[in-house]
């Protein structure tokens, strides 16, 4: 029997559920139509904006676009994560707020906005306040070089098409480790400090194999530019057979799996989530954070998950090329698929111990990636 309260709730939630669905549809359609949208916008900029400001306006528009994607991403990703977690554990997850709980993340977001912004009495106020900003800046700055596709006239759909795109990406993501250290130290809390130290040690260690595995790709393609790496994977059977992951079987497949493992470690996701291991460290480096500052760390974490998945898709899975030609939506779909795999792993695998984590990195992943790099370099010079 449905109670009166539940009736009111359902009457209210029914129409509101349309909001996240419409929003997601609009974003996805915009991404799919990005080559067209970008062409129209650049024509408008060429006509309507004075010559000195054209570049600035174009960069601002692109930035607003990807910031919108990055800001909306956690809303859906957190809902999805809770659903994945629930179904792995044979539960239903959020069901009450909106259709299958779709509005739950919106409600949580509003809740976080209204929460009191606490700073512990003995905290290092400057670092405590700076840390979430640095975390966000690191995650968003890396997005600048992500190419979403190419237009019909050959222009690359990136805010900044850097010649050293991959290097910039690896360099800028290392700022995340600094934000974690800042948060850990600034909180003046032993759990936060341990969490921050663990996170930074982990990120610095796993940066090495990440860079080497990127070099495996760079050595095969012969360019540090992301659009050129994708262009090298175009064509082939069904638009799939030229993806780097299928080349030199099984070398690149191993490289891809290792790269994904390193990505998990760099974003501090399970099984590498010892920096925020609830059972031993409360919540790690963000123990003392509440309200919007806490939300910022979450925004950065989900932004980083999407980023590392996009980079994996660009480097190994053909980026925006696929069976239906070339479209930015393909890249987004591949990246989001990898994000779902990250969630699935999180709720399936137990956490590694600190010593196991370092052993995996230094005794297995780094030697194997060096081996891959040498073999690929030798094969490349022979073939």
Partner 1 sequence: MTAAQVVFYGACLVMLGSALYVVLGRNLVHCAFALVATLVGVAAFYVFLGADFLAGAQVLIYVGGILTLLLFGVMLTNRIYDLKISTGAVQVFPGAVAAGLVFAVLVWIIRSVDWNAMDTGAPGPTSEPLGKLLIGDYLLPFEIASVLLLIALMGAAMLVRRRTRP
Which residues contribute to the site for partner 1 (CB under 8 A)?
Answer: 52, 56, 122, 124, 126-127, 130, 162-164, 167-168, 170-172, 174-175, 177-178, 181-182, 185, 188, 190, 193, 197, 200-201, 203-204, 207, 211, 224
Query: To the nearest whole angstrom, how small is the minimum distance from the Cβ of residue 52 to partner 1?
Result: 8
For partner 1, the closer of residues 57 and 240 by Cβ is 57
Query: To the nearest whole angstrom, how small is the minimum distance from the Cβ of residue 307 to partner 1?
Result: 15
Query: To the nearest whole angstrom, how small is the minimum distance from the Cβ of residue 76 to partner 1?
Result: 30
For partner 1, the closer of residues 103 and 127 by Cβ is 127
For partner 1, the closer of residues 56 and 118 by Cβ is 56
For partner 1, the closer of residues 210 and 327 by Cβ is 210
For partner 1, the closer of residues 185 and 302 by Cβ is 185
Q: How far is the C-alpha of 10 from the C-alpha of 14, rounded, in Å?
A: 6
Query: To the nearest whole angstrom, how small is the minimum distance from the Cβ of residue 202 to partner 1?
Result: 11
For partner 1, the closer of residues 140 and 168 by Cβ is 168
For partner 1, the closer of residues 17 and 63 by Cβ is 63
For partner 1, the closer of residues 68 and 359 by Cβ is 359
SS (H, E, C) the chain: CCCHHHHHHHHHHHHHCHHHHHHHHHHHHHHHCHHHHHHHHHHHHHHHCCHHHHHHHHHHHHHHHHHHHHHHHHHHHHHHHHHHHHHHCCCCCCCCCCHHHCCHHHHHHHHHHHCCCCCCCCCCHHHHHHHHHHHHHHHHHHHCCCCCCECCCCCECCCCCCCCHHHHHHHHHCHHHHHHHHHHHHCCCHHHHHHHHHHHHHHHHHHHHHHHHHHHHHHHHCCCCHHHHHHCCCCCHHHCCCCHHHCCCCHHHHHHHHHHHHHHHHCCCCCCCHHHCHHHHCCHHHCCCCHHHHHHHHHHHHHHHHHHHHHHHHHHCCCCEECCEECHHHHHHHHHHHHHHHHHHHCCCCCCCHHHHHHHHHHHHHHHHHHHHHHHHHHHHHC
Query: To the nearest whole angstrom, how small is the minimum distance from the Cβ of residue 102 to partner 1?
Result: 38
Query: To the nearest whole angstrom, how small is the minimum distance from the Cβ of residue 221 to partner 1?
Result: 13
Query: To the nearest whole angstrom, how small is the minimum distance from the Cβ of residue 336 to partner 1?
Result: 27
Query: To the nearest whole angstrom, how small is the minimum distance from the Cβ of residue 327 to partner 1?
Result: 28
């Amino acid at each position: 029997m449905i109670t009166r309260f539940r009736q009111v709730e359902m009457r209210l939630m029914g129409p509101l559920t349309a909001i996240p669905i419409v929003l997601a549809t609009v974003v996805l359609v915009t991404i799919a139509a990005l080559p067209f949208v970008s062409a129209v916008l650049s024509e408008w900029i060429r006509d309507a904006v004075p010559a000195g400001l054209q570049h600035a306006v174009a960069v601002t528009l692109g930035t607003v676009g990807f910031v919108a994607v990055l800001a909306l991403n956690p809303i859906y990703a957190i809902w999805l994560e809770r659903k994945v977690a629930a179904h792995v554990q044979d539960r239903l997850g959020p069901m009450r707020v909106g259709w299958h709980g779709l509005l739950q993340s919106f409600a949580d977001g509003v809740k976080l906005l209204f929460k009191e912004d606490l700073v512990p009495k003995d905290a290092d106020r400057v670092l405590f306040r700076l840390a979430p900003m640095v975390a966000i800046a690191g995650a968003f700055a890396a997005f600048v070089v992500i190419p979403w596709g190419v237009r019909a006239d050959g222009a690359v759909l990136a805010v900044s098409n850097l010649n050293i795109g991959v290097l910039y990406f690896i360099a800028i993501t290392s700022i995340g480790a600094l934000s974690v250290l800042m948060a850990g130290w600034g909180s003046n809390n032993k759990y936060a400090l341990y969490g921050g130290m663990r996170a930074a040690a982990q990120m610095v260690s796993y940066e090495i194999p990440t860079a080497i595995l990127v070099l495996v790709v760079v050595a095969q393609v012969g360019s540090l530019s992301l659009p050129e790496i994708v262009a090298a994977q175009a064509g082939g059977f069904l638009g799939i057979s030229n993806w780097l992951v299928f080349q030199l079987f099984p070398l690149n497949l191993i490289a891809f799996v290792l790269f994904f493992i390193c990505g998990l470690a760099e974003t501090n996701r399970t099984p590498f989530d010892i920096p925020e291991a609830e059972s031993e460290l409360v919540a790690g480096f963000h123990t003392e954070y509440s309200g919007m500052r806490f939300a910022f760390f979450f925004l950065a974490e989900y932004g980083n998950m999407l980023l590392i998945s996009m980079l994996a898709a660009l480097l190994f899975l053909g980026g925006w090329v696929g069976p239906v030609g070339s479209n930015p939506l393909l890249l987004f779909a591949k990246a989001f698929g990898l994000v779902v795999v990250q969630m699935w792993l999180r709720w399936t695998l137990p956490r590694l111990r600190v010593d196991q984590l370092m052993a995996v990195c230094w005794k297995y992943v780094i030697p194997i990636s060096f081996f891959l790099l040498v073999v690929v370099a030798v094969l490349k010079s022979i073939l």
